[in-house]
Chain A
C-alpha cells in the first residue's frame, strides 16, 4: 500500500476533468425576465420586477421562475404542480398571451427582449401570478361536469361505439387551466359570462351518447351569460395548451341550443 500524496493530486484532477470532459459545455444564454408583481400587504399597486438570468436550451419559463424563487427572491409567488403540462396550475400571460409556463421553452421566445410574465386576466389577483380561481370553478360546477345516466346501472361498462366516442374526444382533453376563459375579451368585461372552459366541459357531456342531461346543460348555457356571449374572437382556441378547438366546441353547443329549441 503506497501512501498517496493527496493534496497535490486532487485539484489537478478536477481541472483535468473540466478540460477534457468530452461532453462539451452545455450552451447557455442570458435572458431578462420581467414579472408583474402584486402584494397587497405592501402596496395596492402592481409593479414590474426584473432579473437577468443565465438559462439553458432545455429550460422553460417555469424554470426561470423557479430560479428566481429558489435562488434570488423567495417571495415570488406562482402556482405549479406537475411541471409537465398535465395539472393546469400554471397558466399565466407570457409576452402578452396566455400560456402554461411549464410548456413554453425559453429558446422559442425572443430572448433579445425581456420576457414578460403577468397573471391571467379577468380573475382577481391574490398575489403576484396567483389569481382567485373560484369564479372560474363556479361556472364549471354549474354546467354539471359529470355523467348523468337515468337507466339502471349495467353489470359491466356502458358500451359506446368508437364513432360516438369520437364525437366529444376533443373536449375530454381539458385540464381546467383557465387559459381560454381568461383570454376572452367578453370575460374580462363581464365576469358573469360562463366562459369557454365551462362550455368546453359541457360539450364533453352534451355530445356523449351515454349521458342523459344534455338538455339541462343546454338550458343552463342558453342563459344570457351563456353561449350567446361568445363573439368568436378565437383567443381561447389560440390559448388552449391542449390544442382543443375551443371556439368550434362553443359553436357546436350554440347550434345544439338552436336545434333543440326548434
Chain B
C-alpha cells in the first residue's frame, strides 16, 4: 500500500458540531477584532471611515457577510444546544435531536436573512 497516513477519526454529529463551533467561534473573534478597528476609524477620520465601511457594499462583501451571519447564527444556536447539554439533566440524551433543531433553525434564519440582504443590495441600500 502506498497510503502512509492514518485515517481520520469517524466521529458523528457531536464531533463535527464541535469542530464547527470552534471554527465559527474563532472566525467571529477575528472578524470582531478587525471590525472594532475599522469602526474606531470614525474617531480618527470620518472620511476614512466612510471609505472603509463603503467597502461593505461591494458584492464580494455581501457574500462574506452572509457567511459571517451564517457562522454567528450557527454558533449562537449551537451554543444554546451546548448550554442545554451542560445544564439540562436529559440534555445528553437529546443532543442529536437538538443538533437537527439547530440545523433546521439555521436554514430558516439563513433563507430569511439571505433573501432580505440580497434584496437590499439590489435596491442599492435604499434607506441605509
Interface pair B92/A251, CB less than 8 Å apart: yes
Interface pair B85/A238, CB less than 8 Å apart: no
Chain B neighbourhood of A232, CB < 8 A: 14, 18, 82, 85-86, 92, 95
Interface pair B9/A231, CB less than 8 Å apart: no
B6 interface residue per 8 A CB criterion? yes
Interface pair B93/A231, CB less than 8 Å apart: no
Chain A neighbourhood of B6, CB < 8 A: 36, 46, 118, 121
CB-based nearest B residue for A255: B87
Per-residue contact bits, chain A 173-211, to B (CB 8 Å; 1 contact, 0 not)? 000000000010100000000000000000000000000
A53–B89 CA distance with the chains assembled, in angstroms? 47
B45 interface residue per 8 A CB criterion? no
Chain B residues touching A, majority SS: loop
Interface pair A34/B8, CB less than 8 Å apart: no
A245 interface residue per 8 A CB criterion? yes
CB-based nearest A residue for B5: A46
B58 interface residue per 8 A CB criterion? no
Between-chain CB contacts (< 8 Å), 21 pairs: A36-B6, A93-B7, A93-B9, A95-B10, A118-B7, A121-B6, A185-B9, A232-B85, A233-B14, A233-B17, A233-B18, A234-B12, A234-B92, A235-B9, A235-B14, A237-B92, A247-B14, A247-B85, A248-B92, A251-B86, A251-B91
Residues of B bordering A, CB below 8 Å: 1, 3-4, 6-15, 17-18, 82, 85-87, 91-93, 95
Residues of A bordering B, CB below 8 Å: 34, 36, 45-50, 93, 95-97, 116, 118, 121, 183, 185, 231-235, 237-238, 245, 247-248, 251, 254-255
